[in-house]
């Protein structure tokens, strides 16, 4: 059976989810997308600039929700959370092919062991 990585939810997320379950579901998606983008390298200097900027913008948007600058149970909060999901997903989509191509470049250069 493959190893499953378990995400832990930050304390501030639990507070948001208690106040507004709908917002909590959207923020949960944003946190998962954030983790996937980080694993794909969207936040690293090796990622294209567009990926890094999109990732940074998404992180800023999520930070606004974390700080409580936007009140739960409002259209503005749901829009901010949805924007964070969209931006993290864009950063992931941008970085994932770069990571995949990096592995192919290593193989082309002969940086792998023959079987």
pLDDT: which is higher, 53 or 111? 53
Kind and range of the H or E run holding 39: helix 21-40
Counting Cβ atoms within 10 Å, is residue 8 exposed (0-12), middle (13-18) or buried (19+)?
exposed
Q: Which residues contact 70 (CB under 8 A, 6 or more apart)?
A: 64, 76, 77, 80
Which of the four pLDDT bands, split at 50, 70 and 90, describes residue 107? low
Domain that residue 48 falls in: 11-106
Give a yes or no: residue 6 inside a domain: no
Q: Is the dihedral of CA 16, 20, 90, 61 positive or negative?
A: negative
Give a yes or no: residue 52 inside a domain: yes
Q: What is the count of structural domains for the chain?
A: 1
Encode pLDDT of 15-51 as tens digits: 999 999 999 999 999 999 999 999 999 999 888 999 9
Assess contact for 87 and 58: CB atoms under 8 A.
Answer: yes
Mean per-residue pLDDT over the chain, rounded: 84
Please name the residue that has the structure tokens 């600039």: 49
């Amino acid at each position: 059976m493959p190893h499953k990585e378990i995400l832990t939810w930050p304390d501030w997320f639990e507070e948001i989810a208690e106040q507004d379950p709908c917002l909590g579901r959207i923020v949960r998606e944003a946190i998962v997308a954030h983790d996937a983008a980080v694993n794909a390298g969207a936040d690293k200097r090796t990622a294209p600039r567009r990926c890094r900027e999109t990732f940074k913008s998404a992180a800023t948007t999520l930070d606004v929700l974390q700080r409580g600058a936007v009140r739960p149970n409002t259209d503005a909060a749901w829009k901010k959370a949805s924007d964070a999901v969209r931006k993290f997903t864009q950063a992931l989509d941008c970085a994932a092919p770069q990571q995949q191509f990096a592995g192919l470049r290593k193989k082309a250069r002969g940086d792998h062991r023959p079987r």
